[in-house]
Structure 1
Amino acid sequence: MSADRPPERLTAQAIASERLFWRSEILQAMYWMDGEGIASAVSPPRLAEFLDTTPDAMVTLVGQLVRDGYLRPLDDDPGRFTMTEQGRREGARSFGDEFAELTRPAHSECGPGCWCRDPKYAGVACPSDQGAAHGH
């Protein structure tokens, strides 16, 4: 077999890995699009543009996600798909994992649950600010 040609047949492990990759990519994209108010339901061709693959490949991938319970077609527009509750949970988890380094608090920045964010502590120095008055 030549190094510049893919193998004739993919192994079961390679197929499973490819399916996991695309499930993650599609659900992350749909979770992000929904969260940003861009779209709560999308068509396979639109996803294909966004994720840089062919529309035919995306139709197959979306069909598998429907069979697996992650997506469902819209009742009034079966050419567009939305996440099921299972798909939303997996999309949120996958998105969080993928972008954790970008969304975590920076050094000397407190997290969203820090006590200093409570208005009754306004003006009280947060330990994260290294002694500075804290005003979120």
Structure 2
Amino acid sequence: MSSPTPDGEAVREIARRDEVLELLFWMRGQGFGEQLSARDLAGFLVYPEPEIAATLQTLEALGAVERRPEERYALTESGLPEARRRFVDNFREMLAEGHGECGFSCQQDHDHEPGRAGDPSREGEPRDDDRRNR
């Protein structure tokens, strides 16, 4: 069996970065936490924990994540939209958004409950509670 070429390893590293960013975004959205370790991610990825840890360190050097206490990492302000974009690009077909809902492709960090201030699907419309008070 031949060993991987430098180009092959570079492609594998890029794929690993993408998967780690996507998983951090997904786990954050599912309520698993905003600060996760390589061990937390290892159960969801095909890579061994040391490779995931090395990838998290690379992502930290790139500014996409920041290290927190106990070897945990969180998406940064610049890493969050990048992780969101990668996630949406890979899972777009599975993320069908309902009518009037703000889904994963939303670029805003706001309350997504319909009828609430800041809901981009209802921008310019009176809030539901404003309609009741007429």
- TM-score of the superposition, structure 2-length normalised? 0.68
Q: What is the aligned partner in structure 2 of residue 132 from structure 1?
A: none
Shift of 1:20: 1.6
% same residue: 25
SS at match of 1:51: coil
Residues 1:81 and 2:73 aligned together:
yes
TM-score when normalising by structure 1: 0.67
1:103 to 80, 92, 95: 95
**For residue 83 of structure 2, what is the amino acid of its counterpart?**
G
Number of residue pairs the alignment of both structures matches: 107
What amino acid is aligned across from residue 57 of structure 1 in structure 2? E
Larger radius of gyration: 1
**What letter matches 1:90 in structure 2?**
E
- Conserved 8 A contact 2:20-2:52: no
Aligned match of 2:15: 21
CA distance in 2, matches of 1:54, 1:63: 15
What does 1:1-136 correspond to in 2, within 5 Å? Answer: 5=1, 7-12=2-7, 14-74=8-68, 77-104=69-96, 110=99, 112=101
Provide the C-alpha distance between the structure 1 equivalents of 2:47 and 2:12, rounded to a whole number of angstroms. Answer: 13
Corresponding position of 1:124: none
Q: Which runs of 4+ in 1 moved over 2 A?
A: 109-115
Deviation, 1:16, is: 2.5
Provide structure 2 residue ranges, at least 5 long, that are not aligned to the other structure.
102-119, 127-134
